[in-house]
Amino acid sequence: MNIRPLIASLVFVVCALPAGAEDGYDLWMRYRAIDAGSYPDLDARVHELVVAPGSATLETAGRELASGLTKLRGRPLSPVPAVTQSGAVLLGTPRSSAEIAGLPLALERAGAEGYVIRSVTLDQKQVTVIAANSDVGALYGAFHFLRLIQTRQKLDALDIVSNPRTQIRVLNHWDNLDGHVERGYAGQSIWDWHKLPGYLDPRYTDYARACASIGINGAVLTNVNANATSLTPSYLEKTAALAGVLRRYGVRVYLTARFSAPIELGGLKTADPLDPAVREWWKAKIDEIYRYVPDFGGFLVKANSEGQPGPQDYRRTHADGANMLAGPLALHGGVVIWRAFVYSNETPDDRAKQAYNEFVPLDGKFASNVLVQVKNGPIDFQPREPFHPLFGAMPKTPLMMEFQITKEYLGFATHLVYLAPLYEEALDSDTWVKGKGSTVAKVVDGELHGYHETGMAGVSNIGADRNWTGSHFDQANWFAFGRLAWDPELSSQSIAEEWVRMTFNSDPAFVRPVVSMMMGSREAVVNYMTPLGLHHLFDTGHHYGPGPWVNNLNRADWNPTYYHRADAAGIGFERGPRGSNATSQYSPRLAAIFADPRKVPEQFLLWFHHVPWDYKTSSGRILWDELVYRYTHGVEVVSQMRRTWAGLEPYVDAERFGQVSSFLAIQEREAQWWRDACIAYFQTFSKRPLPPGVTPPAHPLEYYQSLKFPYAPGR
Amino acid sequence: MNIRPLIASLVFVVCALPAGAEDGYDLWMRYRAIDAGSYPDLDARVHELVVAPGSATLETAGRELASGLTKLRGRPLSPVPAVTQSGAVLLGTPRSSAEIAGLPLALERAGAEGYVIRSVTLDQKQVTVIAANSDVGALYGAFHFLRLIQTRQKLDALDIVSNPRTQIRVLNHWDNLDGHVERGYAGQSIWDWHKLPGYLDPRYTDYARACASIGINGAVLTNVNANATSLTPSYLEKTAALAGVLRRYGVRVYLTARFSAPIELGGLKTADPLDPAVREWWKAKIDEIYRYVPDFGGFLVKANSEGQPGPQDYRRTHADGANMLAGPLALHGGVVIWRAFVYSNETPDDRAKQAYNEFVPLDGKFASNVLVQVKNGPIDFQPREPFHPLFGAMPKTPLMMEFQITKEYLGFATHLVYLAPLYEEALDSDTWVKGKGSTVAKVVDGELHGYHETGMAGVSNIGADRNWTGSHFDQANWFAFGRLAWDPELSSQSIAEEWVRMTFNSDPAFVRPVVSMMMGSREAVVNYMTPLGLHHLFDTGHHYGPGPWVNNLNRADWNPTYYHRADAAGIGFERGPRGSNATSQYSPRLAAIFADPRKVPEQFLLWFHHVPWDYKTSSGRILWDELVYRYTHGVEVVSQMRRTWAGLEPYVDAERFGQVSSFLAIQEREAQWWRDACIAYFQTFSKRPLPPGVTPPAHPLEYYQSLKFPYAPGR
């Protein structure tokens, strides 16, 4: 009797029924069973799992590996204590496993958090070893091995050494205690503070898993616009409960420190960082925090920025403020991460210059456990900015990179914008401060200046939405951030390929067009929102949609008109020596390039220069025509993305296909809105006709100016 | 070869892998496959499904039935056009099916929305017929048939006629346009207004399915504290998109109307309901709404209450306001639902009397398509209230019942409180207005006064949380509301049994203790929060936790002290003739009972009377001792619920077991907090010792008074 068809049909029927919807909850850890015929390596190299007992984290690594491999194989794989056959996968550390201790793995190359994955022969058996010096290293190695299988790599001659290039790889959650996420477009905060510590949502574990799978080792739980209440005992108890969940996955918790907490909680009259009572208060508070969370990571501080209190309120410097906190934290192994995103209450001549002006004089004045966290660009997470001039300018102060994963200025959750090319562009930027190749990546990973602390922060796009990030493709941005924090020199293209294979499927007929769509998506949003170096054209407050005409806000540098400076003569912010001279904040060689409209990369033309409408661009078109062309082209690329996706229906489950289709339709409509509104507005200055054949805006300017969105999310 | 074990193990392995977590998303529509041996009726009576083509709603009914039966059987069941064998299930209407038209089903008994489910013999074949006069009736019948199977009923001699007792069975979503849900404890609103109409979350469909499965046929999408923006074209477009999804499941959409919208949106100087321009504005607006939503249900209005604008602002009556809207709505088949929860800006002598005083004089003055929606009790959704005296007092005005499903005053999402006993107590209350048996249910279903319109509203507990309602057991309250709106005479116990079997499993060893736990849970919360008729002891604003001492709010009737009136002499609100005389609002026979402390049911003792601390209660204990006893007993019942649940681990999946366990632990802690805080506070008046053997409060009163919860959800 041939029972195969019977079994197959039975399995099909019974399993087809309760199969969970493809709602994106699994992220890139979507371990769907792989057909053995299509990938013989899996069968040959994975049929025994050897994990020795160890710490909670090593146990977690073993469980993740067992569960992932079981799902990928479609057959259970339970850990056994020792290698008994070829095809064994051996996971552990020299401490946990005598077999690993006995192998010549040169584990010193793996460092404190890295790992080695290697095909070896052990007692004449072919074995894949995943080994690390630390338990968390083994966990990272386990996820790497799963990734190899998810992306169908050869498993027969592995020799991988991987080692994170930055030490602090951390998500910044801009989450308020009431559950609102500032600039969040994926629902409420995943931290349910009200039910903590009594209820530990299983989602916390899944969050930690996802972080660990891409090497993220820290989470700042609270908003940089900080609330002192998060430092009260009842909230520390909640934080401790969360830390207990995250710890198993090697994720340390951090909190934001409100600088005025000694006044608000401690009843002091001042928060002056040199006041002994203030220093005493913080010391006691920090000691208290470590009683709740023994491996507390430290504080992230936004001070003297956008109304937040800070040391300058007492005529002290950022270094005074940071060092006050750093002292007591150092006793427990914690750090201070001090944000460089500052601006004073007076309108500066050029907001782009402010952080540099305030921080460069402080180089060398920070305590050794202080890192300064710098946004990738000098303004604020725009679709495109040149790299921040602080990178390379503070050789004695560890600078952390701050990327924004949530798309505050890039279309919220509905626009498909793959951000790794933006991150890559920033990291690959050459500062030239120590000659060619002095890239921002080498500043951040400590190589250039020999930083003893390094890190990279991503402003989280995570919320309570079922798919975590508000859209399926926004998951790729979380993934890419983690991968780049681990290795800033990975290519955005290879990360996209990995992610697509892990999240959807490995069919080249699907992977190729989707990766290509992702890779073009960031340039598209630059074009349909802020081409040629334009920036900050967003409508007030919510940053949803265009508002280049906005000119009524209290501070000049809150108004889009401050940034684009369009007039009858031309458009753009003159930041060369004739203007704000922000170009001088870069190294001399770059400064000379940026200062010259003929030399500056055209993508930054209007960032650095006010340029006449009839300026001849590299395409041969005059600036006005080029601007219209870019805006139009941005929309066309989105239309093309829609068509591409529409053709991929056979390769994707209905639920994800449908959501992405709907979102692309929204994106196309909003891209058109951006283009039309901006062209209609800038035309009032250029007074020039649209180039021949170009479709005029659908509505008069007044229509776009009349649109109001009082309930746009994320404020 | 015996392949059974092989197949079984294969099915187990392969299915075990991708099986969705038991996260509660499926609600009571959790159609897990039933082992055929344990329930032979299923195999015998369900192996063919016959559905004729029809409207979208009939098609939906067929699809729901096919999908539900497929899952329950563990084998596909695809619809066929005609009966070919015994065991057929035939679904439809006389219009859709000649076979149904030919059967003597006495379908007139099913009315417009009801159905008949009957075992018949057709051409010598045993057939189960699910028939209705309308497509939506067939949909309701399909869900009823699925429920029969889920609860393992005999299927061999069915003869069911079911017919809703109220016409408008509607959820009130107190959802704001920014996604916040007022008094919501299950995350953000499920309506993602920002992404509408471009994205139709599949969750909207699942919401509509769940509503239809229990007979709910309407949804008020917006908060009763209304926002005129919901009536602007861009929001009507969003509403129309939602209505398109809900319509297939027979769910009509309603909106809340902000009374001042003619000023805010129309630019008028007044919203006076007798002003011709105002009337013209509403007429045009209503016509516009019906262009977007042709089957729009109508408006729910909260006017002149808690700061909302209303007709009294112009010295007009509620009837003037309602009738202005009713006229243009009537042209399209819409209704006005006017809330009776009003209170003026002056503090009344007794807030409990206010709605009666304002509305009784208006009886007979409302247009025929106006219903007045009355909360179950005269104060505000307390753990226990006597029924609202309006019921029975407005024979010429259709009164809708308003129950609160969300647990604003009953422990938010974490307390296990099954509300059907509360609903049942209200519905079963005898008004005596036409002699014995003049129950509130008979007022609401129209029998007592011959109302031509009838309805029941439930304030939704639904949010974006994965399990919809914030906790698994809160799903039962949504379910029970729908079942009671369909048939107000169902017993809360039978509804609980149904729900447990549908949502968890049918094992009596599980069903019995869980139902018993649910049935005792409401009395427990009454005891640990507000025993013996106490009410409104909640802390300010958020209503989280006890605040019986609060006495500093602007309005006297916002303060708990206004309601409990504890003093050296005793405790309670004197509402008899010596006091506010609220008792006189009830029918004479009841009034006499309520007015007499010796006759009033003890559960309402302190609601109606100020009683000395040494008053002898029915238990033989003096009032103070009885109060302490009740508070203590409430906590004990919760502890017992925890123990019961702990013993049920073998019967429940780990995820739901774990969440319920955590929540019961939270509930136990908070019940203790309520007890301790209230005893500590009331003891300052009674000056009496605790009865012997009773544990004193864990902390001094000042501790409880010092607790602050600025970020409690739902405000």
In chain A, the residue whose alpha carbon lies closest to the alpha carbon of B712 is A194
Measured between CB atoms, which of A14, A32, A229 is closest to B74? A14
Residue pLDDT, tens place only, B414-451 = 999 999 999 999 999 999 999 999 999 999 999 999 99
To the nearest whole Å, the CA of B482 is away from the closest chain A CA by 26
Distant-in-sequence, close-in-space partners of A272: CB < 8 Å, separation ≥ 6: A278, A311, A314, A316
CB within 8 Å: B662 and A11: no
- Which residues sit opposite A546 in a β-bridge? A538
Residue pLDDT, tens place only, B360-392 = 999 999 999 999 999 999 999 999 999 999 999
Element (H, E) at A403: strand A399-404
Residue pLDDT, tens place only, B147-170 = 999 999 999 999 999 999 999 999
To the nearest whole Å, the CA of B194 is away from the closest chain A CA by 6
Question: Which band of pLDDT confidence, cut at 50, 70 and 90, is reported for residue B608?
Answer: very high
d(CA B254, CA B400): 15
Instruction: State residue B563 phi and psi, 5-degree precision.
Output: -90, -35
Which residue stretches of A248-307 are H helix?
A: 261-264, 276-292
Fill in the DSSP letter of residue A451.
-
Q: What is the dihedral of CA A154, A160, A163, A165, to 10 degrees?
A: -70
Judge whether residue B5 has pLDDT over 50: no
Give rounded-to-5 percent helix, strand, coil for chain A: 40, 10, 45
Contacts of B229 in chain A (CB under 8 A): 710-711
Size of interface A-B (CB pairs under 8 A): 135
Contacts of A710 in chain B (CB under 8 A): 177, 229
Question: Which band of pLDDT confidence, cut at 50, 70 and 90, is reported for residue B20?
Answer: low
A251 within 8 A of A219, measured Cβ to Cβ: yes
Question: Which band of pLDDT confidence, cut at 50, 70 and 90, is reported for residue A345?
Answer: low
Q: Is B240 helix (H, G, I), strand (E, B) or coil?
A: helix
Say what the pLDDT of residue A306 is: 87
What sign for the dihedral angle of Cα A499, A503, A508, A509? negative
What residue ranges in B186-343 does DSSP mark as E strands? Answer: 218-220, 252-256, 298-301, 335-339
To the nearest whole Å, the CA of B17 is away from the closest chain A CA by 6
C-alpha distances in angstroms, A665 versus A643, A646, B297? 10, 11, 30
Say what the pLDDT of residue A78 is: 82
- Which residues sit opposite A125 in a β-bridge? A122
Judge whether residue A8 has pLDDT over 50: no
Residue pLDDT, tens place only, A158-176 = 999 999 999 999 999 999 9
Task: Tell me the average pLDDT across B241-246.
Answer: 98
Residue pLDDT, tens place only, B460-493 = 999 999 999 999 999 999 999 999 999 999 999 9
User: How many other CB atoms are found less than 10 A from the CB of residue A112?
Assistant: 12
Total residue length of chain A = 715
CB within 8 Å: B466 and A465: no
Q: What is the DSSP string of A176-232?
A: -TTS-BTT--SSS-S--TTTTTT---HHHHHHHHHHHHTT--EEE-S-SS--GGGGS
Strands A48-51 and A79-80: parallel
Residue pLDDT, tens place only, A557-607 = 999 999 999 999 999 999 999 999 999 999 999 999 999 999 999 999 999
Q: What is the DSSP string of B641-696?
A: HHHHHHTTGGGS-HHHHHHHHHHHHHHHHHHHHHHHHHHHHHHHHH--PPPTTPPP
Say what the pLDDT of residue B151 is: 97
- Mean pLDDT, all residues of chain A: 95
To the nearest whole Å, the CA of B115 is away from the closest chain A CA by 28
Task: Tell me the average pLDDT across B643-661.
Answer: 97
To the nearest whole Å, the CA of A637 is away from the closest chain B CA by 20
Question: Which band of pLDDT confidence, cut at 50, 70 and 90, is reported for residue B242?
Answer: very high
Classify the phi-psi angles of A126: left when phi > 0, otherwise alpha if psi is within -120 to 50, otherwise beta.
beta
A299 within 8 A of A329, measured Cβ to Cβ: yes
Measured between CB atoms, which of A11, A71, A662 is closest to B10? A11
Q: Cβ of A669 under 8 Å from any chain B Cβ?
A: yes
CB within 8 Å: A199 and B1: no
Measured between CB atoms, which of A7, A18, A194 is closest to B711? A194
User: How many other CB atoms are found less than 10 A from the CB of residue B176?
Assistant: 21
Judge whether residue B687 has pLDDT over 70: yes
To the nearest whole Å, the CA of A590 is away from the closest chain B CA by 43
Question: Which band of pLDDT confidence, cut at 50, 70 and 90, is reported for residue A252?
Answer: very high
Q: What is the ipTM of this complex?
A: 0.95
The two structure tokens encoding residue A634 = 């941005």
Q: Cβ of A708 under 8 Å from any chain B Cβ?
A: no
Contacts of A18 in chain B (CB under 8 A): 15, 19-20, 32-33, 71
CB within 8 Å: A713 and B466: no
The residues in A 157-216 lying below 8 A from B, measured between CB atoms, are: 176-179, 187-188, 193-195, 198-200, 202
Residue pLDDT, tens place only, A210-236 = 999 999 999 999 999 999 999 999 999
Task: Tell me the average pLDDT across A470-499.
Answer: 98
Contacts of B662 in chain A (CB under 8 A): 198-200
Give me the active site residues of B, please.
306, 380, 408
CB within 8 Å: A659 and B178: no
The two structure tokens encoding residue B568 = 């050296």
Judge whether residue A528 has pLDDT over 60: yes
A279 within 8 A of A287, measured Cβ to Cβ: no
In chain A, the residue whose alpha carbon lies closest to the alpha carbon of B709 is A194
Judge whether residue A20 has pLDDT over 60: no
Measured between CB atoms, which of B75, B187, B663 is closest to A188? B187
d(CA B71, CA B48): 14
Flag the least confident range among A339-348, A706-715, B322-331: A339-348
Closest by Cα among A651, A472, A223, A441 to B711: A223
Q: Cβ of A233 under 8 Å from any chain B Cβ?
A: no
CB within 8 Å: B713 and A179: yes
Q: Within 13 A of A327's CA, how many CA atoms are on the CB side? A: 15
Say what the pLDDT of residue A415 is: 98
Flag the least confident range among A162-166, A592-596, B76-80, B338-342: B76-80
